[in-house]
Chain A
Amino acid sequence: NAGVTQTPKFQVLKTGQSMTLQCAQDMNHNSMYWYRQDPGMGLRLIYYSASEGTTDKGEVPNGYNVSRLNKREFSLRLESAAPSQTSVYFCASSRTGEGSGELFFGEGSRLTVL
């Protein structure tokens, strides 16, 4: 079972460069999310998509854009990377409607901006 797959796992960028983090899920989930994890701060929501064709800002959206390409895929783009965006990024998905609302996470993408 693949679950949530993120690429790349590691990336080093120079300040001002752009890149896109890719995420795909094979669980037929409607909702998808991008979080960043920083030491001592837990996970903070960047953007989420409640369904195909919709995206909404989370707690820390500045400097990021997202695209919900289809039901399976949700990408995160950094247009002009900054050192403050050095972090571990996690994609997650969940079923909407009834149920516990459990999030299923990818293994993370570690990004360093020099």
Chain B
Amino acid sequence: GEDVEQSLFLSVREGDSSVINCTYTDSSSTYLYWYKQEPGAGLQLLTYIFSNMDMKQDQRLTVLLNKKDKHLSLRIADTQTGDSAIYFCAEKESDMRFGAGTRLTVKP
């Protein structure tokens, strides 16, 4: 099957930038997504990028897509304690497949 892989943990200091990385294997993915899960809650879409784009910026969030290397990243600028959560990378061609999630811890 197709896999989506991401590291499980990331710790940063408040005010620093966070970069969460993801690799995927399905080259026919139409959309790639970043979802955020706060404690005790379901996943919420943070941002997504269409496969023919290589960058998308939305306020403090920057998504970079390298299709050749099948690599997706999420950069959060000026990371705040409220950004502490689990971030899931996902790809979709026919159905949506998720990575295991990266737990971001923001230290004051």
Contact = CB atoms under 8 A, between A and B. Distances in A.
Contact of A103 (B4, B30, B41, B45): B45
B43 A40 contact: no
Interface in A15-65: 40-43, 45, 48, 58-59
A108 B101 contact: no
Contacts of A4: 42
A105 B98 contact: no
A41 B100 contact: yes
B100 A40 contact: yes
B88 A45 contact: no
Interface of B: 1, 4, 8, 30-31, 33, 35, 40-45, 48, 50, 88, 92, 95-96, 98-101
For chain B, what secondary structure do more than half of its interface residues adopt (helix, strand, loop), or is it mixed?
strand
Contact of A108 (B8, B42, B92): B42
**Size class of A's contact patch?**
10 to 19
Contacts of A42: 4, 88, 98-101
B42 A106 contact: yes
Contacts of B33: 100, 102
